[in-house]
Chains A and B, each alone.
Chain A
Amino acid sequence: MLQILRSDKTIRWTLVGFFVLAIAGNFMPAWVQNNLMFGLARGLAVLGLMVLWRTGLISFGHALYFGIGAYAVALVDKHLGVSDIFLRLAFAMGAAAMVGFALGFILRKYRSIFFAMLSLAFSMVLYGILVKVEALGSTDGFSVSATSILGWTPESKYTLFCAIIVACAAAACMVQYYLKTGLGALTTAIRDNELRVEYLGYSVSKAIHFKYIISAGLAGASGAMMAMALGQVDPDSMVNWTVSGELVFITVMAGPGSVIAPFIGGVVFEFLRTYAFELAPHAWQLIVGGTLLAIIFFLPMGLWSLLERIWVRKGSSS
């Protein structure tokens, strides 16, 4: 493990990048800090979707786990008075991973559009339940109290901003490590040729199930961070199909090239949406959609491929 961590450039750059962002955040206006928090938090869920995408699977229903994470935070806050960030994250990730584990037994049998749509169906079941059940907040949802860290409740949001950055850096490093192991390398192998993986002696279903649980846990963490950053959870902003759509949107926009890409994608999406809304309050979706179309046409491997091209050009010119 240490060998991978020490020799991996991506891990080093991820840590440096997030550290610089954490320092810079202190000098940023509140709206920029907020946008970064939302973008990075979404990036966690997109990181999980990237693992699935590399395996050849796209889920249109990860709002299910995003919502479970968010509602877990709200429910443990309301009923148990839990405000500690670590406990909230543990509950959120645990609940999302457990549901991912259970549903994984069904989903691991499906591929392509069937996998995508079945995921969506499960997420809409949760949406339906949340909207109808009064005890779960119905359409209004719940508010979430301020987050504490080991008993200390900070006054500014900068602490939560830093906590989100730490969580994102840790998740990116762990996923990068995972992708470098044999199990991680199976992501591409399964996408390329499931039959060969089976005949090499490894269960494709088991491998997909494991990746699905990872992605569910990350989406749970993402939802939890979003709930803490927003201070509010409700079905429309946490579980509705549009949330799943946004996550897939960011995944495609970011590209599967690196574990850093989902966070860049998440942040770009937040600012794109903010500026699009500022520019055209009644047609901002046109700007966002048009941007995605342009990326699909000109950068089919996402924004990360553009950065790679720039680095390669810089490297060759120097």
Chain B
Amino acid sequence: MNGAPALKVTDLCKSFSGITAANNINVEATDGDIIGIIGANGAGKTVFVNMITGYLKPTSGKIEHHGKDITGIEPRDATHVGVCRSFQVSQVFMTMTVRENLLIALAIAKDEGKAMLSSPRSPDLLAEADRMMAAYKIEDHADAVASTLSQGVRKLLDIAMAVVANPKVLLLDEPTSGVSVEEKFAIMDIVIAALKEKGVTVLFVEHDMEIVERYVDRVLAFYQGEVICDAPPAEALVDPKVIEYVIGHDHAPNPTPAVNGGEKPETANA
């Protein structure tokens, strides 16, 4: 590390045929930060994640990782520099077993792909896959084909595969979406414990405020492509703008009256 933030986003904008999906987003994250990204559907959360991980090219603005400009790089290059991600809909190899999924991920990650020229079933990769499965508590499903797994286990596999490349920054897009109420806290306990141990900077998109309250150090609240609040959860979740435009009065910790007459709020980073 060179003292520069793990992630620095400056004046990031994205528009699609005149429709603004992200507008002047400014965010900084230091090593080991756990940040929750909240916002209603269409607020620009996934667009933000997609731009950082190279899936979408920003219209303007800059993304830096430990001082290195990574704006608009290819997804695989984002992985190579240490910025990895998981997906809202788990992106795993459906016809392969859990172990085979991890072995492929490990073979690609190891020695910059040199392991791809030999069998991924080498003793050291098998041991590493076992260690990953134990860390993410999916070892009971090692030989199960991914298409037969529950959403929760598939999510864990998806995240474990994203972590294989030893990321410095990990973006998780709705890690608990589609997961049962009983499973979601268990999943987050496993994931956050494993990532904290490695000092990974985590940004995760989440709709469940209980999850946000329990696991994050900071909250980024999005509304119409802008960050309207960047604060610790204790402050962010009682912020009138966040309650009005993100959480809703019914779900606010302490119900508050509407602000701003429903007009677009001032942004946190404007």
| A-to-B contact residues, CB < 8 Å | 1, 3-4, 180-183, 185-186, 188-189, 191-193, 195-203
**Also in contact, A199 and B85, with CB within 8 A (given A182-B115, A185-B120):** yes
Any chain A CB within 8 A of the CB of B7?
Answer: no
The contact sample of 15 A-B pairs, CB cut-off 8 A, is: A181-B119, A182-B107, A182-B119, A185-B107, A189-B93, A189-B104, A192-B92, A195-B75, A195-B87, A196-B92, A198-B74, A199-B162, A201-B80, A202-B76, A202-B113
Within 8 A of A (CB), among B84-117: 84-85, 87, 91-96, 100, 103-105, 107-109, 113, 115-117
Cα distance, A196 to B85, chains bound together (Å): 10
A185 lies within 8 A of B84 (CB): no
On chain B, the residues within 8 Å of A195 by CB distance are 75, 87, 91
Closest B residue, CB atoms, query A196 = B91
Cα distance, A203 to B73, chains bound together (Å): 13
Cα distance, A191 to B93, chains bound together (Å): 9
Cα distance, A201 to B113, chains bound together (Å): 9
Chain B contact residues (Cβ within 8 angstroms of A): what range? 20 to 34
Any chain A CB within 8 A of the CB of B176?
Answer: no
B108 lies within 8 A of A182 (CB): yes
A193 lies within 8 A of B92 (CB): yes
6 more CB-based (< 8 A) A-B contacts, given A181-B118, A182-B113, A185-B104: A186-B116, A193-B91, A195-B91, A196-B93, A201-B80, A202-B108
CB < 8 Å neighbour of B116 from A183, A193, A199: A183
Q: Chain B, 117-132, contact with A by CB distance < 8 Å: what is the 0/1 string?
A: 1111000000000000
A198 lies within 8 A of B76 (CB): yes
Any chain A CB within 8 A of the CB of B165?
Answer: yes
A188 lies within 8 A of B109 (CB): no
Cα distance, A183 to B107, chains bound together (Å): 9
Closest B residue, CB atoms, query A8 = B119
Any chain A CB within 8 A of the CB of B6?
Answer: no
CB < 8 Å neighbour of B96 from A3, A181, A182, A189: A189
On chain A, the residues within 8 Å of B116 by CB distance are 181-183, 186, 202
Closest A residue, CB atoms, query B114 = A182
On chain B, the residues within 8 Å of A202 by CB distance are 76, 108, 113, 116
Cα distance, A198 to B165, chains bound together (Å): 12
Any chain A CB within 8 A of the CB of B161?
Answer: yes
Closest B residue, CB atoms, query A194 = B91
A186–chain B nearest beta-carbon distance, Å = 7
CB < 8 Å neighbour of B93 from A3, A188, A198: A188
On chain A, the residues within 8 Å of B104 by CB distance are 182, 185-186, 189, 200
**Also in contact, A200 and B108, with CB within 8 A (given A188-B93, A193-B91, A193-B94):** yes
Residue in B78, B79, B85, B104 whose Cβ sees the most chain A Cβ within 10 Å: B104
